[in-house]
Structure 1
Amino acid sequence: MRLSFLLLLALFLLPLNAHAQPSPEQLRDTIRDHISNQEKLQGAFAIVDERTGDVRRLELVRVHERVGKTGDYYYSCTDMRDVRTGGLLDLDFDIEDKDGELRVADIRFHKDDGIPRYTYGEHDQRVPLPVAELKPTVEGSPIAGKVSFMETDEGLKINAVVLNAPPGKHGFHIHEKGDCSDQGNAAGGHFNPDAVPHGDVEKHGFQKAHAGDLGNIEIGSDGKGTLEKVIPGLTLSGGKYGVVGRSVILHEKEDNFGQPTGNAGGRIACAVIPE
Protein backbone atom coordinates (compact mmCIF):
# COMPACT_ATOMS: atom_id res chain seq x y z
CA MET A 1 0.00 0.00 0.00
CA ARG A 2 2.82 2.39 0.95
CA LEU A 3 4.65 1.59 -2.32
CA SER A 4 1.55 2.35 -4.40
CA PHE A 5 1.14 5.67 -2.60
CA LEU A 6 4.75 6.66 -3.33
CA LEU A 7 4.36 5.78 -7.00
CA LEU A 8 1.22 7.88 -7.27
CA LEU A 9 2.97 10.76 -5.51
CA ALA A 10 5.93 10.56 -7.90
CA LEU A 11 3.60 10.64 -10.90
CA PHE A 12 1.77 13.64 -9.46
CA LEU A 13 5.03 15.53 -8.99
CA LEU A 14 6.21 15.00 -12.58
CA PRO A 15 6.30 18.25 -14.60
CA LEU A 16 3.15 18.66 -16.63
CA ASN A 17 5.19 19.51 -19.71
CA ALA A 18 7.53 16.52 -19.51
CA HIS A 19 7.98 14.78 -22.84
CA ALA A 20 10.28 12.24 -24.41
CA GLN A 21 13.54 13.39 -25.97
CA PRO A 22 13.45 13.53 -29.77
CA SER A 23 14.92 10.60 -31.64
CA PRO A 24 17.92 11.06 -33.96
CA GLU A 25 15.67 10.53 -36.97
CA GLN A 26 13.26 13.22 -35.75
CA LEU A 27 16.16 15.66 -35.49
CA ARG A 28 17.41 14.78 -38.98
CA ASP A 29 13.87 15.14 -40.37
CA THR A 30 13.63 18.60 -38.77
CA ILE A 31 16.68 19.67 -40.78
CA ARG A 32 15.37 18.13 -44.01
CA ASP A 33 11.97 19.80 -43.53
CA HIS A 34 13.59 23.19 -42.83
CA ILE A 35 15.63 23.00 -46.04
CA SER A 36 12.64 21.80 -48.05
CA ASN A 37 10.44 24.64 -46.76
CA GLN A 38 13.07 27.22 -47.66
CA GLU A 39 13.32 25.75 -51.17
CA LYS A 40 9.54 26.04 -51.58
CA LEU A 41 9.48 29.64 -50.32
CA GLN A 42 12.58 30.94 -52.11
CA GLY A 43 13.11 28.54 -54.99
CA ALA A 44 16.36 27.36 -53.36
CA PHE A 45 17.95 27.05 -49.94
CA ALA A 46 19.83 30.35 -49.63
CA ILE A 47 22.03 31.48 -46.76
CA VAL A 48 24.40 34.39 -46.19
CA ASP A 49 28.03 33.35 -45.83
CA GLU A 50 29.17 35.30 -42.76
CA ARG A 51 32.77 35.24 -43.96
CA THR A 52 32.17 36.90 -47.35
CA GLY A 53 28.72 38.45 -46.99
CA ASP A 54 27.60 36.65 -50.16
CA VAL A 55 24.25 34.86 -50.46
CA ARG A 56 24.93 31.24 -51.36
CA ARG A 57 22.36 28.95 -52.95
CA LEU A 58 22.82 25.39 -51.74
CA GLU A 59 21.34 21.96 -52.34
CA LEU A 60 21.25 19.17 -49.78
CA VAL A 61 23.51 16.17 -50.33
CA ARG A 62 22.91 14.39 -47.03
CA VAL A 63 22.25 14.86 -43.32
CA HIS A 64 24.93 13.24 -41.18
CA GLU A 65 23.97 10.27 -39.02
CA ARG A 66 25.58 11.70 -35.91
CA VAL A 67 23.45 13.93 -33.68
CA GLY A 68 24.26 15.40 -30.28
CA LYS A 69 23.33 18.01 -27.72
CA THR A 70 25.26 21.05 -26.50
CA GLY A 71 23.61 23.12 -23.78
CA ASP A 72 19.96 23.70 -24.66
CA TYR A 73 20.29 22.73 -28.32
CA TYR A 74 20.51 19.52 -30.28
CA TYR A 75 22.71 19.57 -33.35
CA SER A 76 23.59 17.70 -36.49
CA CYS A 77 25.54 18.46 -39.65
CA THR A 78 24.79 18.39 -43.36
CA ASP A 79 26.75 18.11 -46.57
CA MET A 80 25.50 20.72 -49.04
CA ARG A 81 26.63 21.66 -52.51
CA ASP A 82 26.97 25.21 -53.78
CA VAL A 83 24.72 25.42 -56.85
CA ARG A 84 26.98 27.95 -58.60
CA THR A 85 30.49 26.69 -57.80
CA GLY A 86 29.87 22.99 -57.10
CA GLY A 87 31.86 23.30 -53.87
CA LEU A 88 30.99 20.92 -51.02
CA LEU A 89 30.10 22.58 -47.71
CA ASP A 90 29.51 21.25 -44.21
CA LEU A 91 26.83 23.20 -42.33
CA ASP A 92 26.00 22.78 -38.64
CA PHE A 93 22.32 23.00 -37.63
CA ASP A 94 21.22 23.79 -34.05
CA ILE A 95 17.75 22.50 -33.18
CA GLU A 96 15.56 23.80 -30.35
CA ASP A 97 13.05 21.55 -28.59
CA LYS A 98 10.21 23.82 -27.42
CA ASP A 99 7.78 21.66 -25.46
CA GLY A 100 8.10 18.85 -27.98
CA GLU A 101 8.06 21.11 -31.04
CA LEU A 102 11.35 20.98 -32.93
CA ARG A 103 12.68 23.91 -34.95
CA VAL A 104 15.99 24.97 -36.47
CA ALA A 105 17.43 27.76 -34.29
CA ASP A 106 20.77 28.47 -35.97
CA ILE A 107 22.86 27.42 -39.00
CA ARG A 108 26.62 27.83 -39.38
CA PHE A 109 29.18 27.17 -42.09
CA HIS A 110 31.60 24.64 -40.60
CA LYS A 111 33.74 23.40 -43.50
CA ASP A 112 34.54 24.39 -47.09
CA ASP A 113 35.57 21.34 -49.16
CA GLY A 114 36.67 19.65 -45.94
CA ILE A 115 38.53 22.70 -44.57
CA PRO A 116 37.14 23.63 -41.12
CA ARG A 117 36.40 27.25 -40.26
CA TYR A 118 36.31 26.60 -36.52
CA THR A 119 36.66 23.95 -33.86
CA TYR A 120 35.15 23.63 -30.38
CA GLY A 121 36.86 24.56 -27.12
CA GLU A 122 36.70 22.67 -23.83
CA HIS A 123 33.44 24.41 -22.91
CA ASP A 124 31.84 23.76 -26.33
CA GLN A 125 32.45 27.33 -27.48
CA ARG A 126 33.34 27.90 -31.12
CA VAL A 127 37.02 28.68 -31.73
CA PRO A 128 37.73 30.20 -35.18
CA LEU A 129 40.65 28.68 -37.10
CA PRO A 130 43.07 30.63 -39.28
CA VAL A 131 42.37 29.77 -42.92
CA ALA A 132 44.83 30.86 -45.61
CA GLU A 133 43.31 31.62 -49.03
CA LEU A 134 45.49 30.13 -51.77
CA LYS A 135 45.69 32.35 -54.87
CA PRO A 136 47.64 32.10 -58.13
CA THR A 137 50.92 33.96 -58.44
CA VAL A 138 50.32 34.89 -62.09
CA GLU A 139 47.31 36.66 -63.56
CA GLY A 140 44.87 34.44 -65.42
CA SER A 141 45.69 31.22 -63.56
CA PRO A 142 42.56 29.47 -62.20
CA ILE A 143 44.30 27.92 -59.18
CA ALA A 144 42.46 28.40 -55.88
CA GLY A 145 42.35 26.71 -52.50
CA LYS A 146 42.31 26.95 -48.74
CA VAL A 147 44.65 25.85 -45.95
CA SER A 148 43.51 25.66 -42.31
CA PHE A 149 45.60 25.32 -39.17
CA MET A 150 44.50 23.89 -35.83
CA GLU A 151 46.53 23.24 -32.70
CA THR A 152 45.97 19.77 -31.23
CA ASP A 153 47.60 17.73 -28.47
CA GLU A 154 49.58 15.87 -31.14
CA GLY A 155 50.80 18.97 -32.98
CA LEU A 156 49.64 21.49 -35.57
CA LYS A 157 46.99 19.97 -37.83
CA ILE A 158 47.15 21.30 -41.38
CA ASN A 159 44.31 20.69 -43.86
CA ALA A 160 44.52 21.89 -47.44
CA VAL A 161 42.37 21.70 -50.54
CA VAL A 162 43.67 22.90 -53.92
CA LEU A 163 41.44 23.44 -56.96
CA ASN A 164 42.11 23.94 -60.68
CA ALA A 165 45.79 23.01 -60.46
CA PRO A 166 47.81 20.93 -62.97
CA PRO A 167 47.56 17.17 -62.24
CA GLY A 168 50.45 15.46 -60.49
CA LYS A 169 52.51 16.00 -57.36
CA HIS A 170 53.47 19.52 -56.31
CA GLY A 171 55.80 20.68 -53.56
CA PHE A 172 53.86 22.26 -50.71
CA HIS A 173 55.79 24.27 -48.15
CA ILE A 174 55.50 26.94 -45.48
CA HIS A 175 57.78 29.87 -46.34
CA GLU A 176 59.31 32.35 -43.95
CA LYS A 177 57.55 35.61 -44.90
CA GLY A 178 53.89 36.56 -45.18
CA ASP A 179 54.17 38.22 -48.58
CA CYS A 180 52.89 36.77 -51.86
CA SER A 181 54.01 39.59 -54.15
CA ASP A 182 56.55 39.23 -56.96
CA GLN A 183 54.95 35.95 -58.11
CA GLY A 184 55.38 34.49 -54.63
CA ASN A 185 59.11 35.19 -54.47
CA ALA A 186 58.63 37.78 -51.71
CA ALA A 187 57.66 34.90 -49.39
CA GLY A 188 61.36 34.13 -49.03
CA GLY A 189 62.80 30.68 -48.47
CA HIS A 190 61.37 27.69 -46.65
CA PHE A 191 60.54 28.30 -42.99
CA ASN A 192 63.73 26.92 -41.44
CA PRO A 193 64.39 28.32 -37.94
CA ASP A 194 66.97 25.61 -37.14
CA ALA A 195 69.04 26.16 -40.31
CA VAL A 196 69.03 22.44 -41.18
CA PRO A 197 68.95 20.64 -44.59
CA HIS A 198 65.76 20.12 -46.58
CA GLY A 199 63.65 17.03 -45.85
CA ASP A 200 60.22 15.83 -44.81
CA VAL A 201 59.32 17.36 -41.45
CA GLU A 202 56.44 14.94 -40.85
CA LYS A 203 58.79 11.96 -41.10
CA HIS A 204 62.09 13.36 -39.86
CA GLY A 205 61.26 16.20 -37.46
CA PHE A 206 62.96 19.56 -37.01
CA GLN A 207 66.49 18.15 -36.74
CA LYS A 208 66.51 16.74 -40.28
CA ALA A 209 64.05 18.94 -42.17
CA HIS A 210 62.92 22.54 -42.47
CA ALA A 211 59.98 23.29 -40.19
CA GLY A 212 58.02 24.24 -43.34
CA ASP A 213 58.83 21.10 -45.37
CA LEU A 214 55.34 19.63 -45.83
CA GLY A 215 56.31 17.44 -48.78
CA ASN A 216 53.88 17.17 -51.70
CA ILE A 217 50.21 17.52 -52.43
CA GLU A 218 48.88 15.27 -55.19
CA ILE A 219 46.46 16.83 -57.69
CA GLY A 220 44.03 14.56 -59.51
CA SER A 221 42.92 14.68 -63.14
CA ASP A 222 40.05 16.97 -62.07
CA GLY A 223 42.49 19.58 -60.81
CA LYS A 224 41.69 18.94 -57.15
CA GLY A 225 44.01 17.79 -54.38
CA THR A 226 43.81 17.51 -50.60
CA LEU A 227 46.37 17.26 -47.85
CA GLU A 228 46.14 16.55 -44.13
CA LYS A 229 49.16 16.45 -41.85
CA VAL A 230 49.87 16.80 -38.14
CA ILE A 231 53.31 18.27 -37.38
CA PRO A 232 54.47 17.86 -33.76
CA GLY A 233 56.11 21.00 -32.42
CA LEU A 234 54.67 23.47 -34.94
CA THR A 235 52.41 26.11 -33.38
CA LEU A 236 50.12 28.85 -34.60
CA SER A 237 52.04 31.61 -32.83
CA GLY A 238 54.63 32.03 -30.12
CA GLY A 239 58.06 30.43 -29.96
CA LYS A 240 60.32 29.85 -32.91
CA TYR A 241 57.98 27.36 -34.60
CA GLY A 242 54.96 29.66 -34.98
CA VAL A 243 53.48 29.83 -38.50
CA VAL A 244 51.00 32.73 -38.28
CA GLY A 245 52.16 35.57 -40.52
CA ARG A 246 54.13 33.28 -42.85
CA SER A 247 53.10 31.93 -46.27
CA VAL A 248 52.14 28.64 -47.86
CA ILE A 249 53.53 28.03 -51.36
CA LEU A 250 52.30 25.57 -53.98
CA HIS A 251 55.18 24.75 -56.32
CA GLU A 252 55.22 23.99 -60.00
CA LYS A 253 56.82 20.53 -59.67
CA GLU A 254 57.17 17.62 -57.28
CA ASP A 255 59.44 17.96 -54.25
CA ASN A 256 61.98 15.14 -54.70
CA PHE A 257 63.66 15.97 -51.37
CA GLY A 258 66.93 16.84 -53.05
CA GLN A 259 69.06 19.65 -51.66
CA PRO A 260 68.79 22.47 -51.01
CA THR A 261 65.00 22.89 -51.38
CA GLY A 262 63.58 19.86 -53.23
CA ASN A 263 63.87 20.97 -56.90
CA ALA A 264 60.15 21.78 -56.95
CA GLY A 265 60.42 24.61 -59.45
CA GLY A 266 58.48 27.86 -59.56
CA ARG A 267 55.82 29.15 -57.21
CA ILE A 268 52.38 28.81 -58.81
CA ALA A 269 50.15 29.72 -55.84
CA CYS A 270 50.60 31.44 -52.50
CA ALA A 271 48.61 32.09 -49.32
CA VAL A 272 49.43 34.22 -46.28
CA ILE A 273 48.61 32.51 -42.96
CA PRO A 274 46.34 34.93 -41.03
CA GLU A 275 45.99 35.36 -37.28
Structure 2
Amino acid sequence: MRMKQSAFYNHLALLFISHFFSQIQANHESCPLMLKNIESKVDDLWQSLLHPVALAAKDIKEVYAICEMKPSSTLEAEKPQVTGQVLFKQTYPSGHLETIISLVGFSESDNQARAIHIHEFGDLSNGCDATGGHFNPMNVSHPGHPGDFGNFTPKKGKIKKHRKNIKATMFGPNSILSRAIVIHEQQDDLGEGGNPASLINGNAGKRLACCVIGIGGKTLWQSTFLSLTGNSMKRNAKGSERKSS
Protein backbone atom coordinates (compact mmCIF):
# COMPACT_ATOMS: atom_id res chain seq x y z
CA MET A 1 0.00 0.00 0.00
CA ARG A 2 2.79 2.41 0.92
CA MET A 3 4.60 1.64 -2.37
CA LYS A 4 1.43 2.43 -4.33
CA GLN A 5 1.00 5.71 -2.44
CA SER A 6 4.63 6.64 -3.04
CA ALA A 7 4.31 5.91 -6.75
CA PHE A 8 1.14 8.02 -6.91
CA TYR A 9 2.81 10.98 -5.19
CA ASN A 10 5.85 10.72 -7.45
CA HIS A 11 3.58 10.68 -10.50
CA LEU A 12 1.68 13.68 -9.14
CA ALA A 13 4.90 15.62 -8.62
CA LEU A 14 6.09 14.82 -12.15
CA LEU A 15 2.79 15.97 -13.63
CA PHE A 16 3.04 19.15 -11.59
CA ILE A 17 6.57 19.88 -12.86
CA SER A 18 5.63 18.97 -16.43
CA HIS A 19 2.75 21.44 -16.34
CA PHE A 20 5.03 24.28 -15.32
CA PHE A 21 7.63 23.47 -17.94
CA SER A 22 4.93 23.59 -20.58
CA GLN A 23 3.99 27.02 -19.26
CA ILE A 24 7.62 28.13 -19.59
CA GLN A 25 7.75 27.04 -23.21
CA ALA A 26 4.62 29.05 -23.91
CA ASN A 27 5.94 32.10 -22.06
CA HIS A 28 9.71 31.92 -22.56
CA GLU A 29 10.19 35.67 -21.96
CA SER A 30 9.16 35.30 -18.31
CA CYS A 31 11.39 32.26 -17.65
CA PRO A 32 13.21 33.57 -14.53
CA LEU A 33 9.95 34.37 -12.75
CA MET A 34 8.39 31.08 -13.80
CA LEU A 35 11.42 29.10 -12.58
CA LYS A 36 11.28 30.82 -9.20
CA ASN A 37 7.58 30.01 -8.97
CA ILE A 38 8.26 26.37 -9.83
CA GLU A 39 10.98 26.10 -7.22
CA SER A 40 8.69 27.47 -4.52
CA LYS A 41 5.71 25.29 -5.40
CA VAL A 42 7.70 22.08 -5.84
CA ASP A 43 9.38 22.67 -2.48
CA ASP A 44 5.97 23.10 -0.86
CA LEU A 45 4.73 19.93 -2.55
CA TRP A 46 7.65 17.79 -1.39
CA GLN A 47 7.52 19.23 2.13
CA SER A 48 3.84 18.28 2.40
CA LEU A 49 4.58 14.76 1.14
CA LEU A 50 7.58 14.29 3.43
CA HIS A 51 5.64 15.38 6.47
CA PRO A 52 1.99 16.51 6.43
CA VAL A 53 2.46 18.98 9.31
CA ALA A 54 4.47 21.27 7.05
CA LEU A 55 1.45 22.06 4.89
CA ALA A 56 -0.71 22.94 7.90
CA ALA A 57 2.14 24.91 9.44
CA LYS A 58 2.17 27.38 6.54
CA ASP A 59 -1.17 28.71 7.75
CA ILE A 60 -0.63 28.66 11.50
CA LYS A 61 3.06 29.70 11.45
CA GLU A 62 3.87 28.39 14.94
CA VAL A 63 3.81 24.61 15.32
CA TYR A 64 3.67 22.90 18.72
CA ALA A 65 4.38 19.34 19.81
CA ILE A 66 4.09 17.36 23.02
CA CYS A 67 5.67 14.23 24.45
CA GLU A 68 3.89 12.75 27.50
CA MET A 69 6.61 11.11 29.58
CA LYS A 70 5.89 7.81 31.36
CA PRO A 71 8.11 5.32 33.22
CA SER A 72 9.39 2.45 31.13
CA SER A 73 7.17 -0.62 31.49
CA THR A 74 10.32 -2.71 32.06
CA LEU A 75 11.70 -0.46 34.82
CA GLU A 76 12.32 -1.82 38.32
CA ALA A 77 9.97 -0.49 41.00
CA GLU A 78 12.79 1.03 43.07
CA LYS A 79 13.97 3.29 40.22
CA PRO A 80 12.67 6.88 39.80
CA GLN A 81 9.18 6.82 38.29
CA VAL A 82 9.45 9.83 36.02
CA THR A 83 6.39 11.49 34.50
CA GLY A 84 5.66 14.85 32.92
CA GLN A 85 5.96 16.49 29.53
CA VAL A 86 8.48 17.64 26.98
CA LEU A 87 7.04 20.41 24.80
CA PHE A 88 8.26 21.87 21.52
CA LYS A 89 7.63 25.03 19.54
CA GLN A 90 8.94 25.98 16.10
CA THR A 91 8.11 28.50 13.38
CA TYR A 92 7.55 27.01 9.94
CA PRO A 93 9.61 26.39 7.85
CA SER A 94 13.06 27.16 9.27
CA GLY A 95 12.69 28.71 12.70
CA HIS A 96 14.80 27.52 15.64
CA LEU A 97 13.26 24.77 17.74
CA GLU A 98 12.51 25.52 21.40
CA THR A 99 11.76 23.00 24.13
CA ILE A 100 10.33 23.01 27.64
CA ILE A 101 11.21 20.03 29.80
CA SER A 102 8.87 19.59 32.75
CA LEU A 103 9.42 16.34 34.65
CA VAL A 104 8.68 15.04 38.16
CA GLY A 105 9.19 11.78 40.03
CA PHE A 106 12.70 12.11 41.43
CA SER A 107 13.38 12.01 45.15
CA GLU A 108 13.82 15.34 46.93
CA SER A 109 17.47 14.52 47.61
CA ASP A 110 18.24 13.32 44.06
CA ASN A 111 20.98 15.46 42.50
CA GLN A 112 22.13 13.00 39.84
CA ALA A 113 22.40 14.62 36.40
CA ARG A 114 20.32 12.72 33.84
CA ALA A 115 20.79 12.52 30.08
CA ILE A 116 17.86 13.22 27.76
CA HIS A 117 17.95 12.18 24.08
CA ILE A 118 15.68 11.76 21.08
CA HIS A 119 15.65 8.13 19.93
CA GLU A 120 14.97 6.73 16.49
CA PHE A 121 11.67 4.89 16.91
CA GLY A 122 8.36 5.92 18.43
CA ASP A 123 7.91 2.33 19.59
CA LEU A 124 7.07 1.68 23.26
CA SER A 125 6.01 -1.95 22.79
CA ASN A 126 8.84 -3.18 25.03
CA GLY A 127 9.08 -0.18 27.28
CA CYS A 128 11.78 2.32 26.38
CA ASP A 129 14.04 -0.43 25.08
CA ALA A 130 12.05 -0.57 21.82
CA THR A 131 12.88 3.04 20.88
CA GLY A 132 16.17 2.04 19.25
CA GLY A 133 19.34 4.11 19.33
CA HIS A 134 19.75 7.85 19.12
CA PHE A 135 18.03 9.59 16.23
CA ASN A 136 21.04 10.15 13.96
CA PRO A 137 19.93 11.07 10.42
CA MET A 138 23.35 12.50 9.47
CA ASN A 139 25.26 9.42 10.70
CA VAL A 140 27.61 11.38 12.98
CA SER A 141 29.15 10.58 16.35
CA HIS A 142 27.56 11.47 19.67
CA PRO A 143 27.06 14.20 20.90
CA GLY A 144 26.42 15.56 17.41
CA HIS A 145 22.95 14.02 17.01
CA PRO A 146 20.07 16.52 16.66
CA GLY A 147 18.35 15.12 19.75
CA ASP A 148 21.36 15.11 22.09
CA PHE A 149 19.89 17.48 24.66
CA GLY A 150 22.60 16.97 27.27
CA ASN A 151 22.24 16.64 31.05
CA PHE A 152 19.60 17.87 33.46
CA THR A 153 19.86 17.82 37.26
CA PRO A 154 16.65 17.54 39.31
CA LYS A 155 15.92 20.17 41.95
CA LYS A 156 13.52 19.19 44.72
CA GLY A 157 12.46 16.17 42.70
CA LYS A 158 11.76 18.07 39.47
CA ILE A 159 13.40 19.03 36.19
CA LYS A 160 12.07 22.32 34.80
CA LYS A 161 13.98 23.80 31.87
CA HIS A 162 13.36 25.99 28.82
CA ARG A 163 15.92 25.79 26.02
CA LYS A 164 16.16 27.65 22.72
CA ASN A 165 18.04 26.94 19.49
CA ILE A 166 17.74 23.16 19.64
CA LYS A 167 19.51 21.55 16.66
CA ALA A 168 16.52 19.32 15.80
CA THR A 169 13.52 20.23 13.62
CA MET A 170 9.85 19.28 13.31
CA PHE A 171 9.85 19.77 9.52
CA GLY A 172 11.13 17.94 6.47
CA PRO A 173 12.72 14.50 6.11
CA ASN A 174 14.60 14.77 9.44
CA SER A 175 11.52 15.64 11.48
CA ILE A 176 11.52 14.51 15.12
CA LEU A 177 7.74 13.99 15.07
CA SER A 178 6.69 10.42 15.88
CA ARG A 179 10.10 9.66 17.38
CA ALA A 180 10.78 9.03 21.06
CA ILE A 181 12.35 11.00 23.89
CA VAL A 182 14.19 8.99 26.54
CA ILE A 183 15.45 10.10 29.94
CA HIS A 184 18.33 8.00 31.20
CA GLU A 185 19.50 6.95 34.63
CA GLN A 186 23.02 8.33 34.28
CA GLN A 187 24.81 11.42 33.08
CA ASP A 188 25.79 11.83 29.43
CA ASP A 189 29.60 11.88 29.12
CA LEU A 190 29.20 14.01 25.95
CA GLY A 191 31.49 11.77 23.90
CA GLU A 192 34.44 12.05 26.29
CA GLY A 193 34.15 8.63 27.95
CA GLY A 194 37.08 7.12 26.07
CA ASN A 195 35.22 4.03 24.81
CA PRO A 196 33.16 3.22 21.68
CA ALA A 197 29.81 3.54 23.50
CA SER A 198 30.67 7.13 24.42
CA LEU A 199 30.49 8.12 20.74
CA ILE A 200 27.20 6.27 20.29
CA ASN A 201 25.11 7.03 23.38
CA GLY A 202 27.27 8.87 25.90
CA ASN A 203 27.23 5.94 28.35
CA ALA A 204 24.00 7.30 29.75
CA GLY A 205 22.81 3.99 31.18
CA LYS A 206 19.37 2.55 31.80
CA ARG A 207 16.27 4.08 30.22
CA LEU A 208 14.02 5.38 32.99
CA ALA A 209 11.14 6.89 31.04
CA CYS A 210 10.11 7.70 27.50
CA CYS A 211 7.39 9.12 25.26
CA VAL A 212 6.46 9.63 21.60
CA ILE A 213 6.46 13.13 20.10
CA GLY A 214 3.16 14.23 18.56
CA ILE A 215 1.54 17.45 17.35
CA GLY A 216 0.09 19.55 20.18
CA GLY A 217 -1.65 22.89 20.72
CA LYS A 218 -0.27 26.20 21.90
CA THR A 219 -2.34 26.41 25.11
CA LEU A 220 -0.22 23.95 27.08
CA TRP A 221 3.00 25.54 25.84
CA GLN A 222 1.83 29.00 26.88
CA SER A 223 0.65 27.97 30.34
CA THR A 224 3.80 25.93 31.04
CA PHE A 225 6.05 28.71 29.74
CA LEU A 226 4.31 31.33 31.90
CA SER A 227 4.57 29.08 34.95
CA LEU A 228 8.26 28.46 34.32
CA THR A 229 9.23 32.06 33.62
CA GLY A 230 6.97 33.38 36.38
CA ASN A 231 8.66 31.21 39.00
CA SER A 232 12.07 32.28 37.67
CA MET A 233 11.14 35.95 38.00
CA LYS A 234 9.94 35.39 41.56
CA ARG A 235 13.22 33.69 42.50
CA ASN A 236 15.21 36.55 40.96
CA ALA A 237 13.11 39.11 42.83
CA LYS A 238 13.64 37.33 46.15
CA GLY A 239 17.38 37.18 45.49
CA SER A 240 17.47 40.91 44.78
CA GLU A 241 15.56 41.62 48.01
CA ARG A 242 18.04 39.59 50.05
CA LYS A 243 21.00 41.42 48.49
CA SER A 244 19.48 44.84 49.10
CA SER A 245 18.71 44.02 52.73
TM-score by length of 1: 0.47
Per the alignment, do residues 148 and 195 of structure 1 end up closer, same or farther by CA in structure 2, a change over 3 Å counting? same
Cα pair 1:218 1:226 within 8 Å, conserved: no
Match of 1:235 among 166, 169, 182: 169
User: For residues 128-143 of structure 1, what are the structure 2 equivalents within 5 Å?
Assistant: 129-137=64-72, 138=75, 140=77, 142-143=81-82
Check the 8 A contact 1:135/1:270 in 2, yes or no: yes
Is 1:178–2:122 an aligned residue pair? yes
Question: How far apart in 1 are the matches of 2:58 and 2:125?
Answer: 39
The 4+ residue runs of structure 1 with deviation greater than 3 A are 125-128, 139-142
* Gaps in structure 2 of 5+ consecutive residues: 1-56, 192-197, 216-245
Q: Cα deviations across residues 113-168 of structure 1 (Å, max 9, x unaligned)?
A: xxxxxxxx999x79672211000013755321101111146511111111012522
Distance 2:173 2:210 in 1: 24
Quote the sequence identity (%): 34
More strand by share: 1
Cα deviation for residue 180 of structure 1 reads 2.3
Higher relative contact order (CA 8 A, sep 6+): 2
Tell me how far 1:232 sits from its aligned partner. Answer: 5.3
Q: Name the structure with the higher helix share.
A: 2
> In structure 1, which of residues 153, 163, 172 is the aligned counterpart of residue 104 of structure 2?
163
Distance in 2 of aligned mates of 1:175 and 1:231: 19
Partner residue of 1:147? Answer: 86
User: What are the residue-to-residue correspondences of 1:1-275 with 2, within 5 Å?
Assistant: 129-137=64-72, 138=75, 140=77, 142-152=81-91, 154-166=95-107, 167=110, 168-199=112-143, 209-220=144-155, 222-231=156-165, 234-240=168-174, 242-258=175-191, 259-260=198-199, 261-275=201-215
The alpha-carbon distance between structure 1 residues 154 and 172, as it changes in their structure 2 partners (threshold 3 A), is: same
Alpha-carbon shift at residue 237 of structure 1 (Å): 3.1
Secondary structure in 1 matching 2:130: helix
What's the TM-score once normalised by structure 2's chain length?
0.53
CA distance in 1, matches of 2:166, 2:203: 25
